[in-house]
């Protein structure tokens, strides 16, 4: 559906050159919710603007649904952009227009007949949960309602791709969750491909199927969200995962836990999917002569399934602890001893 091949974007800044996007290769499937995460300056905002033709790459190609966006211009490019809509962090609504008129605006630009516009707007108002607010102005809406208007407006021309530029970072946590659930619902109902950029791993965890981690203009890690949570490879990815999965990997955490549990061995377990529902600890206690204390635990849910971490204190002889760890690994659970440096 979306193919980026060796895409690079450079900006001339005085006598120097800023490489905002550096030879990025990406493939995003039809109907996928794909996340791009990175801190400020990582290049993610530039990358998403390359997807709808608002920026042209210095080199490389961007292809959407078989059409090479980087090879077209003028009216053809404007037509292609209608199939790639965008929602924004600060909503970008027209403050002098009502909810209905904001949603109708792109249809007016596209030359859609008035009767057809009215029908389409009403469908979208129902879809995003704004029934009864058609005649309200943006100043009369909450942040979540404003973003619902933005989503409805972005869907007006039946796009194939919806780009989300930090679409929830201006919202409170409860409203963020509601908007993310709406995006998942739209993805399932319409089969819409969604690409979102964010600096919040909570957003990635909650709705994305796959994620690309960006740093200094490059994609440094790419994969299924569940697998990235289980085994983050890059330091930056590990920091993002720690935002929502307090896995206890940091040396400070290990030190504190060691002070609280000075005897035995601290072991971190990682569960994926159906593993989170299995009575593994019960089987461990029944079959091995070790004392097991639960120190800390957490379960996060992703679009691909659940991801759980559990920290245990194991007491027993060295041989008994080794056998317990071996048993856990035979149950397809990642188990590792937490070591102080």
Contact assessment for residue 315 and residue 288, using Cβ atoms and an 8 Å cutoff: no
For β-strands 265-272 and 218-224, DSSP reports them as unpaired
CATH number of the domain to which 84 belongs: 3.40.50.300
Contact assessment for residue 211 and residue 194, using Cβ atoms and an 8 Å cutoff: no
List the structure tokens of 29: 């499937």
Mean pLDDT score, 280-300 = 85
Point out the domain boundary residue: 202, 221, 244. 244
pTM for the predicted model, two decimal places: 0.81
The dihedrals phi and psi of 316, each to the nearest 5 degrees, come to: 155, 180
CATH number of the domain to which 271 belongs: 3.30.70.260
- In terms of domains, do 259 and 215 share one? no
Pick the more confident residue, 313 or 340. 313
- In terms of domains, do 31 and 82 share one? yes
Q: Return the pLDDT at 251.
A: 60
Q: Return the pLDDT at 135.
A: 95
- In terms of domains, do 258 and 228 share one? no
At 112-128, the pLDDT tens digits run: 999 999 999 999 999 99
Residue 289 pLDDT exceeds 90: no
List the structure tokens of 307: 């991801």
3-state secondary structure of 161: strand
Closest CA to 125 of 96, 95, 97, 155: 155
Q: Return the pLDDT at 340.
A: 62
Closest CA to 295 of 278, 314, 280: 314
| Cα–Cα dist 334/338, whole Å | 12
Which residue is listed with tokens 């965008």?
86
Residue 94 pLDDT exceeds 90: yes
3-state secondary structure of 279: coil
| Number of Cβ atoms within 10 Å of the Cβ of 326 | 11
Query: For all residues of the chain together, what is the average pLDDT?
Result: 88
As for how many domains the chain has, the answer is 2
Q: Return the pLDDT at 88.
A: 87
The residue range of the domain holding 312 is 251-337
At 170-225, the pLDDT tens digits run: 889 899 999 999 999 999 999 999 999 999 988 998 999 999 999 999 999 999 99
Containing H/E element for 241?
helix 235-244
| Cα–Cα dist 20/92, whole Å | 24
Residue 78 pLDDT exceeds 70: yes
- In this structure, the chain runs to a length of 341
Taken in order 206, 210, 211, 217, the sign of the CA dihedral is negative
- In terms of domains, do 124 and 269 share one? no
- In terms of domains, do 201 and 121 share one? yes
- In terms of domains, do 207 and 325 share one? no
| Cα–Cα dist 207/187, whole Å | 10
- In terms of domains, do 327 and 261 share one? yes
Greatest mean pLDDT range, 126-130, 292-296, 305-309: 126-130
- In terms of domains, do 238 and 260 share one? no
Contact assessment for residue 26 and residue 219, using Cβ atoms and an 8 Å cutoff: yes
At 60-75, the pLDDT tens digits run: 999 998 888 888 888 8
Residue 296 pLDDT exceeds 70: yes
Beta bridge partners of 2: 28, 64
- In terms of domains, do 42 and 125 share one? yes
């Amino acid at each position: 559906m979306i193919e980026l091949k060796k895409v690079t974007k450079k900006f001339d800044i005085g006598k120097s050159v800023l490489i905002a996007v550096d030879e990025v290769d990406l493939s995003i499937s039809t109907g996928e919710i794909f996340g791009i995460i990175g801190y400020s300056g990582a290049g993610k905002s530039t990358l998403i603007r390359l997807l709808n033709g608002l920026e042209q790459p210095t080199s490389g190609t961007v292809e959407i649904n078989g059409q090479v966006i980087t090879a077209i211009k003028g009216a053809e490019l404007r037509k292609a952009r209608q199939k790639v809509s965008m929602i924004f962090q600060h909503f970008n609504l027209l403050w002098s227009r009502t909810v209905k008129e904001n949603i109708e605006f792109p249809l007016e630009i596209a030359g859609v007949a008035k009767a057809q516009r009215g029908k389409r707007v009403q469908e979208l108002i129902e879809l995003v949960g704004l029934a009864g607010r058609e005649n309200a102005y943006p100043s009369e809406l909450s942040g979540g309602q404003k973003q619902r208007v933005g989503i409805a407006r972005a869907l007006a021309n039946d796009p194939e791709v919806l780009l989300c530029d930090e679409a929830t970072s201006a919202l409170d946590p409860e409203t963020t969750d509601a908007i993310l659930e709406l995006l998942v619902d739209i993805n399932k109902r319409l089969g819409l491909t969604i690409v979102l950029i964010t600096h919040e791993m909570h957003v990635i965890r909650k709705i994305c199927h796959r994620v690309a981690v960006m740093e200094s203009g490059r994609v440094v890690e790419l994969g299924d969200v569940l697998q990235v949570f289980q085994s983050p490879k890059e330091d930056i990815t590990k920091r993002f995962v720690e935002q929502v999965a307090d896995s206890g990997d940091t040396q400070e955490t290990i030190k504190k836990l060691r002070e609280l549990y000075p005897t035995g061995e601290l072991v971190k377990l990682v569960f994926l999917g159906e593993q989170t529902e299995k009575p593994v600890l019960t089987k461990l206690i029944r079959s091995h002569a070790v004392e097991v204390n639960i120190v800390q635990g957490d379960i996060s849910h992703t679009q691909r399934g659940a991801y759980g971490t559990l920290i245990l204190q194991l007491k027993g002889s060295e041989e008994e602890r080794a056998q317990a760890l071996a048993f856990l690994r035979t149950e397809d659970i990642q188990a590792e001893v937490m070591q102080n440096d």
